[in-house]
Amino acid sequence: MDDERHDITPEYVTLEGPLPVCEYTGEPGEEPCEEPAVVKRWSSAAVVIAAGVGAVVGGVLVAAGIMWVLGFVPGVRPLSQQESVSTRPSDQQITVGEDVNAAVAVAAKVTPSVVNVSVERQFRNVFTGSVEWREVGNGSGVIIREDGYILTNYHVIENADRIVVTVGVQDVEAEVAGIDPKTDLALLKVAGTDHPAIELGSSTDLEVGQFVVAVGSPFGLEKTVTAGIISALQRTPEGEGLGIARYTNLIQTDAAINPGNSGGALVDAAGKLIGINTLIQSPAGAVGTPQSAGIGFAIPVDFARTVADQLIETGTAVHPYMGVQSVTIDENLAVQFDLPARAGALVQFVEPGSPADLAGLQRGDIIIVADGRDITGAEDLVAVVRSSNVGDTLEITLIRADTERDLTVTLGSDADR
């Protein structure tokens, strides 16, 4: 066409030609004429330009990706050097800042490792004759290994026909892997290999006044967190209803502990397990009654771990023993019987054939030193023996007939009694 002209734009070409004259009169049957179409198409020049720009942009992006992977981008580590995020409690570090206090950080780390322990008994319905399961009590437990081992108190599961633990949001039936009534500890086992095991600490260097957090299920209220301090160390509580268990060297805390907390965790400021919550002291003086007075006791983790290791390996636990029964000497007893010492452990009975008998201890001896520790009462002597191992030798200093004597006792195993 003679009048055809090309108006080239960067993106496409618009072709325009002579436009027909359209006059619409509105007569009946007359069709309105259409507006002229504008045809758009890519020119060869535009295609070449677009391809070139795309190649340049793509090359820049690929080069940037390679530089990032290789670590050449400032402030950004390559993928090969980036650390994976772990959800295991043992890998989490407690960081306390302006927005997070110690109790909040510890609770976030520890609560996944503490489980509710539901104790169930089997009953027969007298009307229907069917067998039913009923919850008759609850306590707490601590996951100590990723393969499903849970440490709790023996008195929590003592009368159970079935034990159900709540791990996360799931109720799982647990098996009893081992019990040790003498220390009030029990070990449970649930299936699985990727459980949130707690980070184990040490009870060796604990200090009075140290910050602690208790986690458990008081009155069935799961994942309850209370905070306090260590009130005292090496406590040996006395009271009714303690059964055959001997509690020695316990950690005393003022963190609120109530029925249901038994078997739960006592942890330090780093979220590490330092004790298994076990007892409370009530205002009435009896241990274990459902009233908290800010006096609770926990079994030290070092001792609990020793028992747990034995239960895992053999299903039973053995303990060192000396073979004496003794009472605490106080001022009144010393005056009443005209004793040559105002403090110590007065031997009342020596078990025949026991390590104490073989070492030469006698009824009436007053033990004042054992293994380098001053003995001011019978509980001190029990604590020394309990903190030792089978086969250890203890240097004993005693008073017999106003004369001090030194003896050596080699501790035996209570399994041989």
Whichever domain contains 398, its CATH number is 2.30.42.10
Helices (H), 111-217: 154-157
Q: Are 326 and 361 in contact (CB under 8 A)?
A: no
Number of structural domains (the chain) is 4
304 and 226 within one domain: yes
**Above 60 in pLDDT, residue 144?**
yes
pLDDT at 26: 43
Q: What distances in angstroms separate CA 408 from CA 328, 363, 387, 392, 397, one per listed residue?
A: 21, 17, 17, 10, 9
**Above 70 in pLDDT, residue 136?**
yes
Bridging pattern class, strands 366-370 and 393-400: antiparallel
Candidate from 23-32, 75-84, 194-203 with smallest mean pLDDT: 75-84
- Average pLDDT for 91-116: 78
232 in a structural domain: yes
Q: Is 330 exposed, middle or buried (0-12, 13-18, 19+ CB in 10 A)?
A: middle
Q: Are 312 and 339 in contact (CB under 8 A)?
A: no
Q: How confident is the model at residue 402 (pLDDT cuts 50, 70, 90)?
A: confident
**CA 247 – CA 386 distance, rounded (Å):** 10
Give tens-digit pLDDT for 320-374: 989 999 999 988 888 988 899 989 999 999 999 999 999 999 999 999 999 999 9
331 and 264 within one domain: no
Amino acid letter at 104? Answer: V
Residue listed under structure tokens 């747990």: 308
**Above 80 in pLDDT, residue 239?**
no
51-59: long-range pairs with CB below 8 Å, 24+ = none
309 and 290 within one domain: yes
Beta bridge partners of 111: none
Candidate from 42-51, 273-282, 393-402 with smallest mean pLDDT: 42-51
pLDDT at 337: 87
- Average pLDDT for 109-135: 90
Between 346 and 95, whose confidence is greater? 346
pLDDT at 95: 56
93 in a structural domain: no
**Above 70 in pLDDT, residue 86?**
no
pLDDT at 417: 78
97 in a structural domain: no
Between 73 and 103, whose confidence is greater? 103
Whichever domain contains 140, its CATH number is 2.40.10.10
Give tens-digit pLDDT for 163-172: 999 988 889 9
219 in a structural domain: yes
214 and 289 within one domain: yes
3-class state of residue 59 by DSSP: helix
Q: What is the DSSP letter of 315?
A: S
385 in a structural domain: yes
Start-to-end CA distance of the chain, whole Å, equals 121
235 and 205 within one domain: yes
**Above 80 in pLDDT, residue 71?**
no
248 and 159 within one domain: no
Amino acid letter at 245? Answer: A
Q: What is the pTM of this model?
A: 0.70
Q: How confident is the model at residue 383 (pLDDT cuts 50, 70, 90)?
A: confident
pLDDT at 302: 94
Q: What distances in angstroms separate CA 286 from CA 314, 385, 387, one per listed residue?
A: 35, 26, 26
Give tens-digit pLDDT for 225-237: 999 999 999 888 7
- Average pLDDT for 234-258: 78
Element (H, E) at 225: strand 224-235
Q: How confident is the model at residue 69 (pLDDT cuts 50, 70, 90)?
A: very low
76 and 29 within one domain: yes
Token couple for 349: 């009975």
67 and 172 within one domain: no
247 in a structural domain: yes
The domain of 382 spans 320-416
Bridging pattern class, strands 272-280 and 265-267: antiparallel
91 in a structural domain: no
**Above 60 in pLDDT, residue 35?**
no
pLDDT, mean over the chain = 79
396 and 327 within one domain: yes
Between 340 and 6, whose confidence is greater? 340
92 in a structural domain: no
Q: Are 203 and 302 in contact (CB under 8 A)?
A: yes
User: Which residues belong to the active site?
Assistant: 155, 184, 262
Reference 258, options 302, 214, 228; nearest CA is: 214
Token couple for 36: 């002229």
Q: What distances in angstroms separate CA 215 from CA 111, 168, 203, 321, one per listed residue?
A: 7, 14, 17, 33
As a whole number of Å, the CA-based R_g of the chain is 39
Q: How confident is the model at residue 140 (pLDDT cuts 50, 70, 90)?
A: very high
Give tens-digit pLDDT for 183-221: 999 999 999 989 999 999 999 899 999 999 999 999 889
